[in-house]
Amino acid sequence: MTDDMIPAANLLPDDVDLTAPFGNGTLPNPVTTASGCAGYGREIAKFQPLTELGSITTKTIMPYPRAGQPTPRMAETPSGMLNSIGLQGSGIEHFVEHELPWLAERGARVLVSIAGERVEDFADTARQLNGRPGVIGIEANLSCPNAANRGLVFACNPATSYDVIAAIKEVADPALPLYAKLSPDVTSVTEIAAACVKGGADGLSMINTLLGMAIDTTTLRPALAGVTGGLSGPAIRPVAVRCVYQVHAAMRAGAVPEVPILGMGGIRTGLDALEFVLAGAACVAVGTAVFNDPTAPLRVLIELREALAARGFAKLTDAVGFAHR
Partner 1 sequence: MAHPLQIRAEILEISQVGAYHRMVLRAPGVAARVRPGHFAALAVGGADSAMLLRRAFSIHRADPDAETISLIIAEAGRGTRELLRARAGDTVDLVAPLGTAFPHPAGATTALFVAAGYGSAPLFALAEQVIAQGGSAGFILGAPTADRLYGVEAARQLTPDVLVTTDDGSGGIKGQVTLPLAEAIKAISAEAVYSCGPMGMLRAVTEIATAEGARSFCAVEQAMACGVGVCMACVLPVVGEDGVSRLVRSCVEGPCFDGTRVRWTDVGTIPADLHGAAAMGVR
User: Would you tell me which residues interact with partner 1 (CB under 8 A)?
Assistant: 36-39, 42-44, 46-47, 59, 62, 64-74, 76, 78-81, 83, 85-86, 88-91, 225, 233-234, 268-269, 288-295
Nearer Cβ to partner 1 (142/231): 231
Interaxial angle between packed helices 270-279 and 296-310, expressed in degrees from 0 to 180 and rounded to the nearest 10: 60
Return d(Cα 65, Cα 230) in angstroms, integer.
21
**Nearest distance from C-beta of residue 57 to partner 1, angstroms:** 12
**Nearest distance from C-beta of residue 220 to partner 1, angstroms:** 17
Neighbours of 134 (CB within 10 A): 20
Return d(Cα 166, Cα 156) in angstroms, integer.
16
Active site residue 144: yes
Neighbours of 170 (CB within 10 A): 12
The DSSP bridge partners found for residue 284 are 31, 263
Do 129 and 176 contact (CB within 8 A), yes or no? yes
**Nearest distance from C-beta of residue 222 to partner 1, angstroms:** 13
Nearer Cβ to partner 1 (40/322): 40
Neighbours of 71 (CB within 10 A): 11
Return d(Cα 164, Cα 272) in angstroms, integer.
31
Among 144, 196, 243, 283, which one carries the catalytic annotation? 144
Nearer Cβ to partner 1 (38/247): 38
Return d(Cα 88, Cα 268) in angstroms, integer.
25
ω into 72 cis (within 30 of 0): yes
Nearer Cβ to partner 1 (44/110): 44
**Nearest distance from C-beta of residue 291 to partner 1, angstroms:** 4
Nearer Cβ to partner 1 (71/188): 71
Return d(Cα 207, Cα 267) in angstroms, integer.
11
Do 291 and 232 contact (CB within 8 A), yes or no? no
**Nearest distance from C-beta of residue 292 to partner 1, angstroms:** 4
Whole-angstrom distance between the N-terminal and C-terminal Cα of the chain? 12
Q: Any idea which residues carry the catalytic annotation?
A: 144
